[in-house]
Chains A and B, each alone.
Chain A
Amino acid sequence: MTRAAPSSPRTRSSRTGSTGHTLPWPVWVPAVVGFGLIAVPVAGLVLRADWPNFLTLITSDAALDALRLSLQTGLTSTALCLLFGTPLALVLARSDLPGLPVWRSIVLLPLVLPPVVGGLTLLFLLGRTGPVGQLLDAWFGVTVPFSTVAVVIAQTFVAMPFLVVSLEGALRTAGDRYEAVAATLGASPMTALRRVTIPVVLPGLVSGAVLAFARALGEFGATVAFAGSLQGTTRTLPLLIYLDSQDDLDSAVALSLLLVVVAVVVIVATRTRDASGVR
């Protein structure tokens, strides 16, 4: 999705895009303002940090527990997003299901819903007095809220649309001509999906997975409403940061920077893979 089909043999220069024409100047001013809006606050975080104690702050028990839990739940949610979101995007992009726009808008609901609303809806459904939670409690003695599973469910809920949108866009851009050709050559629908469709949209799938992971990593509202907050079980990095912001700002700032670093590493790692032509 991010790559133009015939890639230019020339190396990129900073002022010209891959097709060679210069950007008109009115693009630059708002672009710089937009960049500043994102970058300046992060720089402010760097300035505010208590650097002499930085290492101590990010290696406290609470911080390490939160980091481990964040990575663990973030990766699990991303895997679930891939498992359920990929077929979902295929259905939305390629099927002739009646009422597709309605189904799509339901899938995209978590994008527009405030995360805390998502968390409350999950709580009303799966909480101990909710219609499903009641049955789980009565039949299996299982309580979903306040567990690590609840964190994963909340993260998957908010992150899945990012994967679906990204992948559906890639599927639509790629079109279905290759699959049609594969079918004429005798490939079964499953083979065409596995050998043609997925490889063609792999960059879109990767960037969708990265977006979903980043969203899961930063998840706060749905988690705090649905899963609660307990060290080592449900208190992910964003929850710890918010808690610390009440009484230990230095720790909150240090952990925020840690989260920024993790996010940047993930984005850069996958972006460079994408740009260097690894498919």
Chain B
Amino acid sequence: MTRVPRLVLAALAAAVALGVAACGGSGGEQQAPPRTLTVSAAASLTDVYGQLKTQFEQAEPGTEVRLNFGGSDTLAQQIVQGAPADVLATASTRTMQTAQQAGRIQGQPVTYATNQLQVAVRPGNPKQVTGLPSLVGPQVTESVCAPAVPCGAATEAAERAAGVTLDPVSEEQDVRSVLQRVTTGNVDAGLVYVTDVRSADGQVQGIDFPQATAQGAAQSYLIGAVAGSQDAGLADSWIRFVTGPQGDAALTQAGFRLR
């Protein structure tokens, strides 16, 4: 009777020990490149920053850029909680302020780009959507971001400017979910950013509307160096790179507007 549990326990202990050893090993045995830079960036920057990472690593041999993408709120919270990062790039002023107020940003962050809303519709615009007022009513179903998240706040600002109240069938957690509702044909229209329309590779068509430039409707992109960075020099180089000509080209191509 007593032998079996002991065997089981021994096996368990071995498994735990192996697991711990494996966890410990993977970090230490990597041959670390001389300089690593960790960049926490808003999810909407995934394509642009991925492209810039390759260019930057070529321009600065011996460096490795690690990109950590997520919602701006999440990233700012992580940095406030002490997550190791050298650069923070958010998709809103408010989230950058969160990190700033916690004393986690070195110097003054830079606003380098903006992103505007568009109405995404199926190619060919079958429901003949023209602007925000044309979305109201049951004949056109639309999906938007929830007001709690940045793209939802922008949507609300645009609605106020247009003097309309939309009747969405769903308020999504993030803008990519809104886009997915349109690409899968489950809604007729969705309020997303110009960059999202571009990234959909022709699966949706973007329709401009005048209120996209209204106060609070456009999204600002800020970048700042995180205080206590391991390599403040490299963090500054990345920021200069992103806000320089190569960054500008990549951002413009993705649909961002430069500031």
Residues of A within 8 A of B (CB): 24, 26, 30, 123-124, 127-129, 143, 145-146, 224, 227-231, 234-235, 242-244, 246-248
Contact = CB atoms under 8 A, between A and B. Distances in A.
Contacts of A243: 146, 148-149, 173
B173 A242 contact: yes
16 contacts: A26-B5, A26-B9, A127-B184, A129-B184, A143-B186, A224-B177, A228-B172, A229-B146, A229-B170, A230-B170, A231-B171, A234-B170, A235-B171, A243-B173, A246-B149, A246-B173
Contacts of A246: 71, 73-74, 148-149, 173
Query: Chain B contact residues: over half helix, strand or loop, or mixed?
Result: loop
Contacts of B74: 246
Contacts of A129: 184-186
Given A243-B146, A246-B71, A246-B73, A230 B169 contact: yes
Top 7 closest pairs, chain A to chain B, by CB: A228-B170, A129-B185, A146-B169, A247-B148, A127-B186, A146-B170, A128-B186
Interface of B: 2, 5, 9, 12, 71, 73-74, 141, 143, 146, 148-149, 168-173, 177, 181, 184-187
A229 B149 contact: no
A229, A234, A248, most chain B CB atoms within 10 A: A229
Nearest to A249: B77
Query: Chain A contact residues: over half helix, strand or loop, or mixed?
Result: loop
Contacts of B12: 30
A244 B149 CA distance: 9
Contacts of B171: 228-231, 235
A224 B173 contact: yes
A244 B187 CA distance: 24
Contacts of A26: 5, 9
